[in-house]
Amino acid sequence: GQSLEQPSEVTAVEGAIVQINCTYQTSGFYGLSWYQQHDGGAPTFLSYNALDGLEETGRFSSFLSRSDSYGYLLLQELQMKDSASYFCAVRAETGANNLFFGTGTRLTVIP
C-alpha cells in the first residue's frame, strides 16, 4: 500500500519561516509534489522534486531525500495569505497521473 505522513496542523507567525515535513512509503517513486489549497478552493501546484536536493521557487522551497523517503516544504517570510492546507503527493508509477496525497497540513499564520 501507499502511505504519506505529514503533521495535521502548524501555526507560525507572520514573517517567520515554517517547515512542513512529509514521509512516505510507496511501492514505487517517481517524484514528490506539493500542493496548496485554500478553504473552498482548488489545490494549486507549488513544487516538484524527482531527485535529491533542494528546489527553490521564490519564498517556497522543497527538499527531497529519496534514501530517507522524506521531503519537506519550506515557506519563508510568511504572509497571512499563506494560511492554507498543504499537501504532499507522490507519483508512484511512471507514465501515470495518479498522485497519492498525504492528509494535508493546515497552516495558520498569525500576526
- Any bridge partners for residue 61, and if so which? 56, 74
E strands, 31-110, in order? 32-37, 44-49, 53-57, 60-65, 70-75, 84-91, 99-101, 105-110
Other C-beta atoms closer than 10 Å to the C-beta of 1 total 6
Tell me the closest approach of the beta carbon of residue 41 to other proteins, in angstroms: 7
Site string for other proteins, 45-84 (x = CB under 8 A): x--x-x----------------------------------
83-102 binders of other proteins (CB under 8 A): 87, 89, 91, 93-102
Binding site for other proteins (CB under 8 A): 30-31, 33, 35, 41-45, 48, 50, 87, 89, 91, 93-104
